[in-house]
């Protein structure tokens, strides 16, 4: 199972990718214990603003492992860290690789 956290860009959006990589993703690793974390920083072909500042994919071994991660009593800690790197409201998608 994969939990994808998407940060859609908007005019004037604040997003600190360095903070996300060094601090927030590591906090998520500590709280959720995913098998793998994949970070994709948005790039716009030919310049301009990319549609997403960042997409973070958190890979879990099973739906049960994902459920345990999402039920962590430390979820509030992870959510409280979001304003430290962005003013974007993230979108969440749960899925599986095909």
pLDDT by residue (tens digit) across 25-70? 999 999 999 999 999 999 988 878 899 999 999 999 999 999 999 9
Q: What domains appear along the chain, each with residue ranges and CATH number?
A: 2-95 (3.30.70.100)
CA proximity to 78, closest of 27, 29, 30, 22: 27
Q: Give the whole-number percent of the chain exceeding pLDDT 90.
A: 90
Predicted TM-score (pTM) of the model is 0.92
Average pLDDT, the chain: 95
Q: For residue 29, what are the CA distances in angstroms to 1, 25, 46, 48, 76?
A: 15, 6, 34, 32, 15
Beta bridge partner(s), residue 52: 8
> Which pLDDT score, from 0 to 100, does residue 84 have?
98
């Amino acid at each position: 199972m994969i939990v994808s956290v998407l940060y859609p860009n908007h005019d004037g959006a604040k997003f600190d990718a360095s903070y996300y990589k060094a601090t927030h993703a590591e906090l998520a690793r500590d709280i959720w214990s995913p098998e793998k974390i994949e970070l994709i920083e948005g790039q716009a072909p030919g310049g301009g603003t990319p549609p997403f500042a960042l997409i973070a994919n958190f890979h879990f071994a099973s739906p049960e492992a994902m459920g345990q991660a999402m039920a962590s009593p430390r979820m509030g800690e992870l959510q409280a860290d979001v304003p430290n790197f962005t003013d974007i409201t993230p979108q969440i998608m749960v899925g599986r690789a095909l």
